[in-house]
């Protein structure tokens, strides 16, 4: 099982994204991208993700799920 992000729900704000700071495997990152509506995106590296689920309840946009 791995964590997946619904980009449609994600505000991609590094200041509010607790999963970036709390992910024990550092699988979640903030990437600046001018092509994105907010100028950035949050990404989950499936190779690093262990599926622990810590990110799910702390995501302020409720846009991460483990499946």
pTM greater than the 0.95 cutoff = no
Binned at pLDDT 50, 70 and 90, residue 37 comes out as: confident
CA–CA dist 5, 13 (Å, integer): 14
Domain ranges of the chain: 3-66
Q: Under 8 Å CB-to-CB from 66, ≥6 apart: which residues?
A: 1, 2, 3, 4, 51, 53, 56
Q: Give the distance from CA 39 to its chain's centroid.
A: 15
Please, which pLDDT band fits residue 24 given cuts at 50, 70 and 90?
Answer: very high
Fold topology of 3-66: Alpha-Beta Plaits (3.30.70)
pLDDT score for 42: 96
């Amino acid at each position: 099982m791995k964590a997946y992000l619904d980009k449609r729900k994600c505000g991609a704000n590094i200041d509010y994204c607790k999963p970036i700071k709390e992910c024990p495997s550092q699988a979640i990152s903030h990437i600046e991208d001018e092509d994105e509506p907010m100028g950035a995106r949050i990404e989950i590296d499936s190779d690093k993700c262990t599926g622990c689920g810590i990110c799910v309840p702390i995501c302020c946009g409720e846009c991460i799920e483990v499946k």
